[in-house]
Amino acid sequence: MSDRASMKVAVLMGGSSSEREVSLKSGAQVAAALRRLGHEVMVIDPAANGLNALSDFNPDAVFIALHGRFGEDGCIQGALEMMGLRYTGSSVLSSAIAMDKTISKALFDMSGIPTPPYVVVSRRHDPRSALELALGVGIPCVVKPSSQGSTVGISIVKESSALEEALKIALDHDEEALVEKFIQGTEVTVGVVGKRDPQALPVLEIVPKNEFYDWESKYTPGMSEHIIPARISEAAQEECQRLALRAHAALKCRGYSRVDMIVEPEGRVWVLEVNTLPGLTEVSLLPDAARAEGIAFDELIEILLNTALED
Ligand SMILES: Nc1ncnc2c1ncn2[C@@H]1O[C@H](COP(=O)(O)OP(=O)(O)O)[C@@H](O)[C@H]1O
Ligand SMILES: [Mg+2]
């Protein structure tokens, strides 16, 4: 074992975002795994404890098990940079980019990564021109806030009469909304793991019991099914893995991420978004895909912890 074998690790979990409850679960399981691996662990909830406990503990590495706003969007990463602490996963810049679907899609376009056609509608538009702009994408479409996660404020619009309400809901959550072409197909997600030489994990197919992969399907046991490998052709699986690595690189992600995609029946792949802090409970998507690759949960957590360290 290397001298890295036992470290002082702070696990950040909870936080104040809409994904607080999920983060508490991720954090508890990450902390348990780190303890089994022999590390000295302190769990800190920034919303409850602030960050003073963190500077007192003075860890060798910070494992970020937060999700959503302030955890996933670069804010906590910036605070840690200023405190001179090493942390797992992506940088301030990359976290902020990935959290913003509009900026992410612009970078996908620039990098030749296929992402569904879209327009951006802002609160500054007057409602009539916003509606006209949105109608340009065509029906059905998907309306989402630019910078939320976990399917908060998302609507699938099947009739033009429902578009106005969908825009209102999305713009209640964010100043900008994305109106995206609805893609009919198999929903998949691909984990990317590794700092110097990132590798794509097996393609995981998500089968939600609800109409789409909404909040309930994501977080209620039994409300979605994971199928590995996804029931798509081998060529499509390879394409998903290739695009996952390209999307990870295009957004300058570091250490790990999980890339959401939809695959059309004839094999065409569209990238929806990159998650820089995907769920890390033992039944979450990334750990499930890692297991299919022969990487057990604890081993995965050790790999992710090491992304905080120098190469
Ligand atoms: N363009 C689209 N076509 C079809 N379904 C979509 C599309 N965009 C989103 N969805 C559905 O909505 C879910 C959430 O969308 P996503 O862009 O991944 O945002 P987030 O996971 O951050 O809420 C997806 O997992 C998928 O089920
Ligand atoms: Mg998603």
Which residues, other chains included, contact 141 with Cβ-Cβ below 8 Å and sequence gap of 6+?
Answer: 134, 156, 157, 163, 179, 180, 181, 182
Residues 27, 45: Cα–Cα separation, whole Å: 9
Ligand 2 (ion): which residues have CB within 5 A? 260
Distance 262 CA to ligand 1 centre (A): 9
The class of domain 8-89 in CATH terms is alpha beta
Catalytic residue among 258, 284, 288, 306: 258
Contacts of residue 74, Cβ cutoff 8 Å, sequence gap at least 6: 91, 92, 93, 94, 95, 96, 99
User: Amino acid letter at 275?
Assistant: N
pLDDT-based confidence at 1, cuts 50/70/90?
A: very low
- For the question of residue 49 being annotated catalytic, the response is no
262 lines ligand 1 (CB under 6 A): yes
Q: What is the pLDDT of residue 149?
A: 66
pTM of the model: 0.95
pLDDT tens across 99-149, in order?
A: 999 999 999 999 999 999 999 999 998 888 889 999 999 999 999 999 866
Taking 70 as the threshold, does the pLDDT of residue 189 lie above it?
yes
- The answer to whether 87 is a known catalytic residue is no
The percent of residues in the chain predicted with pLDDT above 70, rounded, is 97
Task: State which of 99, 142, 183 you would mutate to test the pocket of ligand 1, scoring each by most atoms of that ligand within 8 A of its C-beta.
Answer: 142
Reduce the DSSP state of residue 69 to 3 states and report it: coil
Per CATH, the homologous superfamily of domain 97-114+184-276 is: ATP-grasp fold, B domain (3.30.470.20)
Q: Residue 200 phi/psi, 5° resolution? A: -90, 135
Distance 6 CA to ligand 1 centre (A): 40
Residue owning the nearest CA to atom 2 of ligand 1: 182
Averaged over 298-309, what is the pLDDT?
97
What's the average model confidence in pLDDT over 254-266? Answer: 98
121-127, long-range: CB < 8 A, 24+ apart: 121/167, 121/171, 121/176, 121/177, 121/178, 121/179, 122/171, 122/175, 122/176, 122/177, 123/171, 123/175, 123/176, 124/175, 127/164, 127/167
202: which DSSP letter? P
Q: Which atom of ligand 1 is nearest to the CA of 148?
A: 22
**C-alpha 82: how far from chain center:** 24
Q: What's the pLDDT tens digit per position in 40-94?
A: 999 999 999 889 999 999 999 999 999 988 899 999 999 999 999 999 999 999 9
pLDDT of res. 2: 46
Q: Which long-range contacts (CB under 8 A, 24 or more apart) does 218-223 make?
A: 218/150, 218/151, 219/21, 219/22, 219/150, 221/283
Average pLDDT for the chain: 94
Structure tokens at 76: 């906590």
Q: What is the pLDDT of residue 4?
A: 55
How far away, in angstroms, is 97 Cα from ligand 2 center? 15
| Average pLDDT value for residue range 166-173 | 94
**pLDDT surpassing 80 at residue 150:** no
The reply to whether 164 belongs to the active site is no
Closest ligand 1 atom to residue 212 Cα is: 27
Enumerate the domain spans of the chain.
8-89, 97-114+184-276, 118-181
Task: Tell me if residue 180 is catalytic.
Answer: no
Class of domain 118-181: alpha beta
